[in-house]
Amino acid sequence: MMKKYILNTAVLFFFSGIVIWAQEVKITPGQKMRTEQLKKEVHNDLTVNILPYWSSRLIDSINGGFYGRIDGNEKVYEGDDKGGILNARILWTYSSAYRVLKDTSYLRIAARAKDYILSHFIDNQYGGTFRSVTYKGEPSDIRKQTYSNAFFIYGLSEYSRATGDQEALKKAKEIFEAFEKYVLDKKTNGYFEVFSRDWKKTDDRLIGERSAADQKTMNTSLHVMEAFANLYRVAPEKIIADRLRNMVELFLDKIVDNKRFHLICFMDREWNPTSTIDSYGHDIECSWLLYEAAHMLGDQELKARVRKTSIKIADAAAEGLRSDGGMVSDKDYSTGHVSTGRSWWEQAETVVGYINAFELTGNELYLDKAVNCWNYIKRHFIDRNNGGWYSSVTDTGEPGRGDKAGFWICPYHNGRMCLEVIERVSNH
């Protein structure tokens, strides 16, 4: 049987690994063999390929921190701006890798990321973080993007989780407090998207919004929820629990389409849908992050409700799976148009999402989906010549022309997939 854990905040605070959620499901010997093989393969890719690629190719030894971009031909752009999202995700990835694998070489990279973030990305005048800095570390894009700031909460709290560092935790909590002071929509709930440096709301469109009517986004909400969940792990305080619960309930009541069980990508201020896109990668990512958040809160009624919804979201996301095991990007259900390209992050989240669904149900068809997608990744996404993963491939499996590293392209999705599988299977 899977391990059982006492569900209270004191115990949650001291967990060193990911809790295995589906504790009531018994893993058969055959399923155990399959998951152990998956664990072995992703462990190898993480430690021999993913992490070495990023730590060897991206470190800026002259100006500090990490380079801002590597293109599809492996050219490093030393003079490009350094994105906040990339740096925060590097911090999370290497902190988590150190916590799970205990390799001090990962800790050195994590500490480098933490020190650079605290020295260059934190806005000591107005609070929060800059969206980017120049290659020399000077403020560049000084807007306060909620999505970007959420990842700093996520990364800084993970560093504290891995090391006990109180400075990182203090900064993560300060960003959380800025969210509650400036970003929270006190009229209709949720969090607005973009602000000026001094926290004046703007209608800038940074993550696919098409008009000023797109006031709330699924994408930002998802990463605010995961950030609050990680902060709650290391700071199990009532205010953080309350805001985490609020995010879970917003997904259940506003963001998940409770007829179709896809996520609503864009909404107006009153949470009315403003888009007709089904984003399959976000669907499957949400299916496990939502359950993780609910489980941590220890409310059995909420957890049971989320469990049902999580499985329904995973089933809806399966519309994007293809016979080769890969996950396509999205579909406009008003026109039927499907975007058939494949991105690295969608594949990584597909593996985790269906492992989670398997653990919740014991249904081996979900395990099949996870393993099939991993096999697709092995065939098409792992760059066996230069290292790392391609950021995209065509629908026929050919590498795309996109960057290997950049503002949005990072080791977080694929690194987290590997770490999730390692921890979950270790607890079977």
How many other CB atoms are found less than 10 A from the CB of residue 204? 13
**pLDDT given for residue 25 in this prediction:** 82
Phi/psi of residue 76, nearest 5 degrees: -90, 130
**pLDDT given for residue 24 in this prediction:** 56
Q: Which helix or strand (DSSP H or E) is residue 338 part of?
A: strand 337-339
Q: How far apart are the first and last CA of the chain?
A: 7
Q: Are 259 and 197 in contact (CB under 8 A)?
A: no
Model confidence pTM above 0.85: yes
Q: How confident is the model at residue 5 (pLDDT cuts 50, 70, 90)?
A: very low
Interacting residues of 260 by C-beta distance below 8 A, sequence separation 6+: 278, 316, 333
Written as one letter, the residue type at 285 is: E
Dump pLDDT digits (tens) for 91-113. 999 999 999 999 999 999 999 99
**How much is the mean pLDDT over the chain?**
94
Phi/psi of residue 202, nearest 5 degrees: -125, 170
Give the integer Cα–Cα distance in Å for 126 and 258. 39
Give the integer Cα–Cα distance in Å for 72 and 82. 18
Q: If you average pLDDT over residues 19-43, what whole number do you get?
A: 83
Interacting residues of 220 by C-beta distance below 8 A, sequence separation 6+: 146, 147, 150, 191, 193, 207
**DSSP of 349-391, one letter per residue?**
HHHHHHHHHHHHH--HHHHHHHHHHHHHHHHHTB-TTTSSB-S
Interacting residues of 387 by C-beta distance below 8 A, sequence separation 6+: 49, 52, 53, 56, 57
Q: Is 163 helix (H, G, I), strand (E, B) or coil?
A: helix
Return the closest-CA partner of residue 38 out of 427, 418, 428. Answer: 418
Pull the structure tokens for residue 48. 């021999």
Q: Which helix or strand (DSSP H or E) is residue 88 part of?
A: helix 84-101
Q: If you average pLDDT over residues 62-82, what whole number do you get?
A: 98
Q: If you average pLDDT over residues 66-78, what whole number do you get?
A: 98
- 7/46: higher pLDDT: 46
Q: Are 66 and 113 in contact (CB under 8 A)?
A: yes
User: Percentage of the chain surpassing pLDDT 90?
Assistant: 93
Please tell me the class of the 9-426 domain: mainly alpha
Strand order across the beta sheet in which 201-202 lies: 144-145, 194-195, 201-202
Burial class (CB within 10 angstroms; exposed 0-12, middle 13-18, buried 19+) of 225: buried
Residue found by looking up tokens 């000077």 in the block: 138
Give the integer Cα–Cα distance in Å for 95 and 114. 9
**pLDDT given for residue 127 in this prediction:** 98
**pLDDT given for residue 140 in this prediction:** 98
Interacting residues of 75 by C-beta distance below 8 A, sequence separation 6+: none
Give the integer Cα–Cα distance in Å for 169 and 239. 15
User: Taking the domains of the chain in order of start, what are their residue ranges?
Assistant: 9-426
**pLDDT given for residue 4 in this prediction:** 31
Pull the structure tokens for residue 346. 């969608």
Return the closest-CA partner of residue 247 out of 311, 184, 319. Answer: 184
Q: If you average pLDDT over residues 355-372, what whole number do you get?
A: 98
Give the integer Cα–Cα distance in Å for 364 and 38. 14
**pLDDT given for residue 110 in this prediction:** 98
Length of the chain: 428
Return the closest-CA partner of residue 101 out of 53, 50, 56. Answer: 50
Return the closest-CA partner of residue 24 out of 359, 321, 297, 283. Answer: 359
Q: How confident is the model at residue 16 (pLDDT cuts 50, 70, 90)?
A: very low
Q: Are 72 and 396 in contact (CB under 8 A)?
A: no
Dump pLDDT digits (tens) for 205-248. 999 999 999 999 999 999 999 999 999 999 999 999 999 999 99
Orientation of helix 344-361 relative to helix 300-317, angle to 10°: 130
